[in-house]
């Protein structure tokens, strides 16, 4: 059996996110389509809709994990269950708004030490609170960015991103963390609540 590399898994996750966004865009009016491109407000709406879908699964998993499993980690130096959930909340508070040209939340602050501090309190209660408040923040802040500003490229991580690239980067990363949490759940004998299979 051939080993699957982490980069190939990441490419597959990002490809899945691209397909999800493409399906969302396919239903928009023909008048909004121009030469194979997508207008920025449509990209934003598809992105926020996809966040709702992801959030539903994150919250279901967060509820399904018993509180005493939040400290479980597959190996030393790897994020625990609670730390992965809090990392997702951090992305809602910080990276998602910034990639769309909005300010990050004051809940997190700035710099790696600030968000690591938030991620260091991964109790079930804190996770549920910050997943909900973090998504509310990203939806409000990204939703408030003007259509003209959305069309601007954003510089993060040493690269420039269009609004479509920003949406793909964020949904791809969040889908990757969802997959990580599904694997954590399965290893701990927890069936994802939305799953029909064993």
Q: Give me the pLDDT at residue 138, please.
A: 96
Region 26-33: mean pLDDT is: 44
Q: How many structural domains does the chain have? A: 1
Between 28 and 38, the more confident residue is 38
Chain segment 80-114, per-residue pLDDT in tens? 999 999 999 999 999 999 889 999 999 887 777 87
Q: How far apart are CA 114 and CA 21, in angstroms?
A: 31
Domain presence at residue 193: no
Do 148 and 106 form a contact (C-beta atoms < 8 A)?
A: no
pLDDT(31) > 90: no
Domain presence at residue 97: yes
Q: Give me the pLDDT at residue 70, please.
A: 97
Say which range, 15-29, 43-57, 66-80, 162-176, has the weakest mean pLDDT.
Answer: 15-29
pLDDT(8) > 50: no
**Burial call 35-55: b when 16+ CB within 10 Å, e when fewer:** eeebbbebbbebbbebbeebb
Say which range, 21-25, 50-54, 128-132, has the weakest mean pLDDT.
Answer: 21-25
Domain presence at residue 86: yes
Q: Supply the angle between the helices 40-64 and 81-90 in degrees, to the nearest 10.
A: 160
Q: How far apart are CA 62 and CA 81, in angstroms?
A: 9
Region 19-26: mean pLDDT is: 47
Percentage of the chain modeled with pLDDT above 70: 80
Domain presence at residue 195: no
Between 38 and 39, the more confident residue is 39
pLDDT(42) > 60: yes
Q: Is the dihedral of CA 138, 110, 60, 77 positive or negative?
A: positive
The structure's pTM equals: 0.80
Domain presence at residue 81: yes
Chain segment 110-167, per-residue pLDDT in tens? 777 877 888 888 999 999 999 999 999 999 999 999 998 988 888 877 888 889 999 9
Residue 146, Cβ neighbours under 10 Å: how many?
11
- Model confidence at 198, pLDDT cuts 50, 70, 90, reads low
pLDDT(7) > 60: no
Do 91 and 131 form a contact (C-beta atoms < 8 A)?
A: no
Domain presence at residue 134: yes
Between 35 and 94, the more confident residue is 94
Domain presence at residue 61: yes
User: H/E element holding 17?
Assistant: helix 6-26
CATH number, domain with residue 67: 1.20.120.450
Domain extent at residue 171 = 6-187
pLDDT(53) > 80: yes
């Amino acid at each position: 059996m051939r080993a699957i590399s982490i980069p190939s898994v990441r490419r597959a996750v990002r490809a899945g996110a691209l397909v999800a966004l493409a399906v969302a865009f396919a239903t928009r009016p023909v008048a909004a389509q121009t030469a194979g491109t997508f207008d920025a407000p449509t990209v934003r709406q598809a992105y926020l809709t996809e966040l709702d879908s992801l959030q539903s699964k994150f919250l279901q998993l967060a509820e399904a994990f018993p509180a005493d499993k939040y400290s479980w980690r597959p190996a030393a130096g790897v994020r625990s269950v609670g730390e992965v959930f809090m990392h997702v909340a951090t992305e809602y508070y910080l990276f998602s708004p910034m990639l769309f040209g909005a300010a990050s939340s004051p809940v997190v602050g700035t710099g790696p030490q600030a968000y690591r501090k938030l991620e260091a309190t991964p109790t079930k209660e804190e996770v549920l609170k910050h997943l909900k408040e973090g998504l509310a923040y990203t939806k409000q802040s990204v939703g408030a960015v003007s259509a003209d500003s959305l069309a601007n490229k954003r510089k993060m991580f040493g690269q420039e991103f269009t609004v479509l690239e920003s949406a793909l980067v964020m949904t791809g990363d969040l889908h990757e963390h969802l997959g990580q949490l599904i694997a954590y759940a399965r290893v701990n004998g927890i069936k994802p609540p939305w799953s029909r299979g064993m």
